[in-house]
Amino acid sequence: MTIREFKMPDVGEGLTEAEILKWYVQPGDTVTDGQVVCEVETAKAAVELPIPFDGVVHALLFEEGTTVDVGQVIISVQTEGGEPAVETAEAPVQEAAPAVAPAVAEAEPAPAARQPVLVGYGVSTASTKRRPRKAPAPAVAAQNGTAAPVAAAAPAAPAPAAPVLPAVPAQPAGERPLAKPPVRKLAKDLGIDLALVVPTGDGGVVTREDVHAAAAAAITPQAAPAPAPVQAAVAPAPVQAPAAEVASARETRIPVKGVRKVTAQAMVASAFTAPHVTEFITLDVTRTMKLVQELKDDPDLAGLRINPLLLIAKAVLVAIRRNPDVNASWDEAAQEIVLKHYVNLGIAAATPRGLIVPNIKDAHAKTLGELSTGLSELVATAREGKTSPADMQNGTITITNVGVFGVDTGTPILNPGESAILAVGAIKLQPWVHKGKVKPRQVTTLALSFDHRLIDGELGSRFLADIAAVLEHPRRLITWA
């Protein structure tokens, strides 16, 4: 039998860590080469990881929700072979920085006859189990079946009048509380002593909810309880905060990680590196909206998603063709402007994990139908959280459609490395002077932010005006192409 190990790979370019979102296998499950075993979230996207060999899952070395450095072993698999040995899917095990499963860290010490195959881990014919909890101190029955720990040989005292809570095991004195590494870190960040937290998890494990409850109880003013008889050498058992007190906490702290973390870093870097200029234009898009409806009814485009964003994207591509110098990037190291002869058109997408900007590769070379398909696939993949890091790299210009939220316009921040970003506002029926008369027309506002190192005021203004001209008279999609 051979124990083979699979390390956390670099699923992007230069990423250093990833969070394990979900395990799809458990110890004892059979896996095959190429089978997806877990989903991880990097700073750029959620990615599914396939195992590169066949065998039976031996151990999962990290729990869900744990952030793991690239290169650390995350799963071990028993494979057919000769003498017991350890192999890795990528590189030899680094004994200086072993990866130990949280469950193993809480397990009983291995017998002396056990042959270790990893630092802090070994082979066993039986499944790894947590150490048994010490028997709780004798308890006296309370109303509704609850029980409260009491000191040995101490007389029972009547409980003060208070809401009755479900029975939970208290942490035995002098014993290290059971908790997963992320929970320990959360308790440390919140300044909570795990020994004073009432565990509600299976087997007396402290959960994240227990820590939050303890934190809420610490900051929520509570009425002083009635004095209780002193029990020699035994501290009173902590009481879990009621749900109402948890809900009344004045603050909630959310760890910044994954997509949200890298987005924040990118926006700060962009805002304080590229000198932003934003220009606005309000225009009549009634003809474009009529064309959208006509294209929806066109049998040649049956099955395709036709919407205003599609024609706006096409208008941007036409305007880039007329003003190619806007499609560039700034190379700080070489002190050069890099003109791009291709357009990777980014579309900002809001997802449950945060804002991402995947792009349609070589959008300039696509027909209207191909562009529609690209947009549909991009949006569907983003909503499912399956956008790959490659889909978010090497963008040139981005469109963000804030109008879907009913917003008229905004001043968008550039996606790092790109020259411009176009914000599209809500399209609304408004009074507009048309052919000398005030009429209700479909009107929207566009906002273009651009890097003033690459695009001066004249070029930026011409580019934005060309986009507006196409949307006001969409026949220019043909005449200007």
**Phi/psi of residue 48, each to 5°?**
-90, 135
- Name the β-bridge partners of 19: 41, 67
How far apart CA 142 and CA 390 sit, in angstroms, is: 61
Q: Of 327, 285, 330, nearest to 308 (Cα)?
A: 285
How far apart CA 111 and CA 122 sit, in angstroms, is: 10
| Residue labelled with tokens 């529609």 | 372
CB 43 within 8 A of CB 16: no
Name the token pair of 66.
């744990």
How far apart CA 60 and CA 82 sit, in angstroms, is: 23
Q: Of 119, 3, 14, 4, nearest to 70 (Cα)?
A: 14
3-state secondary structure of 126: coil
How far apart CA 214 and CA 187 sit, in angstroms, is: 9
List 58, 434, 452, 473, catalytic entry = 452
- In order, the DSSP letters of 340-353 are -SS--EEE-EEETT
- 452 classed as catalytic: yes
Residue 68: CB atoms within 10 A of its CB come to 18
Look at the chain and count its residues: 481
How far apart CA 345 and CA 347 sit, in angstroms, is: 7
Q: Using CB atoms within 10 A of its CB, is residue 151 exposed (0-12), middle (13-18) or buried (19+)?
A: middle
Name the token pair of 441.
């027309």
Which residues are catalytically annotated? 452
